[in-house]
Amino acid sequence: GTDIFVRYHSKGDATLAKAHEGSVRRSDVTDNLRLENHTQFDADAVSVGGQTYEEFLERTVEYQFVKWVVEHLLFEIRDTGHADALKTLYGALPKVDRAELNGVVNVVLTEDGQETRTQEGFDVVLRDRMGNPLLVANLNDSREAATESMMEGLITSAERVGQSSESLACAFLVTRSFFEPEALETASEATRGGLLSRDKRKSFVNLSRKRGYHLCLVEARNENFHLAVPEL
């Protein structure tokens, strides 16, 4: 029941859209950004482990991941010269309007002329102003390694969303530990282009000739986030 809205003190000052064009600094955007929490319950009446709900929320890996995506990821991609290789993700970041925690995406698929409606759940769904899913993420908040089954589950769900919605730009698997070799191999197989592929996009899952999404693996330790796949 929690959404995190991406807002600015002034849209006339530094924004992610202006940063996308390379015209402003990270510090200026961060100073102008603000994350606003909205809950479907009275957060002031809730405490978790002796903390207020807001204090609890801001210490969760979900909230910290959203903060990293909004405040840092675009600049890491831009400043390392990977804007073209991660073009689909890079172009989506300025469009993020809100993050839905424990979110659900409605999926409509057509097979053999039959329309099927289902839902895919993710730990975090980042959406644009119209509610379209831009980025989805599952999180391994454990000391145990992220497994092959976690990777397979994310890829399967993301592919269904991507086939139903052209807006999907990236799927993230985030772990507070590390990735099992089998999980890395599964990700590699999903993003491997054909022998004749000339696609220069990094870690990209092709859904069709013109559509697809980036698959990114993120390590989160001590409130720091590191993009492990693809390497920047």
| pLDDT tens per residue across span 195-221 | 445 568 899 999 987 889 999 999 998
Confidence check: pLDDT of 29 > 60: yes
**Contact 3/98 with Cβ under 8 angstroms?**
yes
Q: Hey, what's the torsion of the CAs at 121, 190, 62, 80, to 10 degrees?
A: -150
Q: How would you class 29 by CB atoms within 10 Å of its CB: exposed for 0-12, middle for 13-18, buried for 19 or more?
A: buried
Tell me how long the chain is: 232
Which pLDDT score, from 0 to 100, does residue 45 have? 80
Q: Output the CA angle 85-133-117, nearest 5 degrees.
A: 125
Alpha carbon distance 50, 74 (integer Å): 35
Whether residue 133 is preceded by a cis peptide bond, meaning omega within 30 degrees of 0, is: no
Which pLDDT score, from 0 to 100, does residue 195 have? 45
Alpha carbon distance 142, 144 (integer Å): 5
Which pLDDT score, from 0 to 100, does residue 196 have? 45
Helix and strand numbers, DSSP H then E, in the chain: 8, 11
Which pLDDT score, from 0 to 100, does residue 204 have? 94
0.85 surpassed by pTM: yes
- For the ranges 74-88, 104-118, 138-152, which has the lowest average pLDDT? 104-118
**Contact 150/178 with Cβ under 8 angstroms?**
no
Q: What value does the mean pLDDT take over residues 97-121?
A: 91
Residue type, 204: F
- β-bridge partners, 34: 7
Residue type, 10: S
Q: What is the pLDDT of residues 33-66, one digit of tens each?
A: 999 999 888 878 888 988 898 998 999 999 999 9
Residue 145: helix, strand or coil by DSSP?
coil
**Contact 94/81 with Cβ under 8 angstroms?**
no
Of 97, 170, 92, the C-alpha closest to 131 is: 97
* Residue 132 region by backbone torsions, left for phi larger than 0, else alpha for psi between -120 and 50, else beta: beta
Q: What is the pLDDT of residues 138-195, one digit of tens each?
A: 999 999 999 999 999 999 999 999 999 999 999 999 999 999 999 999 999 999 865 4
For 169, the token pair is 């730009």
Q: How confident is the model at residue 109 (pLDDT cuts 50, 70, 90)?
A: confident
